[in-house]
Amino acid sequence: MEMDALILSRIQFAANISFHILFPTITIALGWVLLFFRLRYNATGDDRWMAAYRFWVKVFALSFGLGVVSGITMSFQFGTNWPGFMETVGNIAGPLLAYEILTAFFLEAAFLGIMLFGFRRVPGWLHTTATFLVAFGTTMSSFWIIVLNSWMHTPQGFEMIDGVAHATDWSAIIFNPSLPYRLTHMLLASGLTVAFLLAGVSAYRRLIGDRSPGVRLTMKTGVYLAALLIPVQIVAGDLHGLNTLEHQPQKVAAMEGNWETRGNVPLVLFALPNEETRSNDFEIGIPSGASLILKHKADGVVPGLNDFVAEDGTPLHPPVAPVFWSFRVMVATGMLMLLVSWVTAYRMIRHGGVDGLGKAILVPLVAMTFSGWIATLAGWYTTEIGRQPWLVQGVMTTEQAVADVPAPMVAGTLTAYLSIYAVLLAAYILTMFGLATRAARGEKVADMPRAGGRAGTKTGGGGTGAVGPNPDADVVPAE
pLDDT digit string (tens) for the chain, length 479 residues: 457 888 999 999 999 999 999 999 999 999 999 999 999 999 998 888 988 999 999 999 999 999 988 888 888 888 888 989 999 999 999 999 998 888 888 888 888 888 888 877 888 889 899 999 999 999 999 999 999 999 999 999 999 999 999 999 999 999 999 999 999 999 999 999 999 999 999 999 999 988 888 888 999 999 999 999 999 999 999 999 999 999 999 999 999 999 999 998 999 999 999 988 999 999 999 999 999 999 888 889 999 999 998 888 888 899 999 999 999 999 999 999 999 999 999 999 988 788 788 899 999 999 999 999 999 999 999 999 999 999 999 899 999 999 888 888 989 999 999 999 999 999 999 999 999 998 888 755 444 444 444 333 343 333 333 333 333 333 332 32
Answer yes or no: is 192 within a domain.
Answer: yes
> Does some domain include residue 382?
yes
The pLDDT assigned to 210 comes to: 83
pTM over 0.85: yes
- Please report the pLDDT score of residue 352 as a whole number: 77
**Domain assignment of residue 276, yes or no:** no
DSSP string computed for 430-475: HHHHHHHHHHHTT---S--PPPP--SS-TTS--SSSS------SSS
Q: What is the pLDDT of residue 107?
A: 84
Residue 345 lies in a domain: yes
Residue 62's CB is within 10 A of a number of other CB atoms, namely 18
The neighbouring-strand residues paired with 284 are 270
Question: Among the residues of 45-169, which ranges form H helices?
Answer: 47-80, 83-100, 106-117, 124-153
Q: Are 264 and 286 in contact (CB under 8 A)?
A: no
Alpha-carbon separation of residue 201 from 133, 365, 377, 434 (angstroms): 26, 8, 21, 11
Can you tell me the distance from the alpha carbon of 362 to that of 37, in angstroms, rounded to the nearest whole number? 23
CB 473 within 8 A of CB 444: yes
DSSP annotation of 393 reads T
Please tell me the predicted confidence (pLDDT) of residue 443: 55
Tell me, yes or no, whether 31 lies in a domain: yes
Q: Is residue 334 part of a domain?
A: yes
474 inside domain: no
Which 8-state DSSP code applies to residue 316?
A: -
By the 8 A CB rule, do 41 and 49 touch?
Answer: yes
Range of the structural domain that residue 399 is part of: 23-247+320-440
Q: What is the predicted pLDDT for the residue at 447? A: 42
Is residue 327 assigned to a domain? yes
pLDDT of residue 354: 81
Distance CA 170, CA 148 (A): 12
379-431 pLDDT per residue, tens: 999 999 999 999 999 899 999 999 888 888 989 999 999 999 999 999 999 99
Counting the structural domains of the chain, the total is: 1
Q: Interior CA angle at 231 toward 226 and 237, to 5°? A: 110
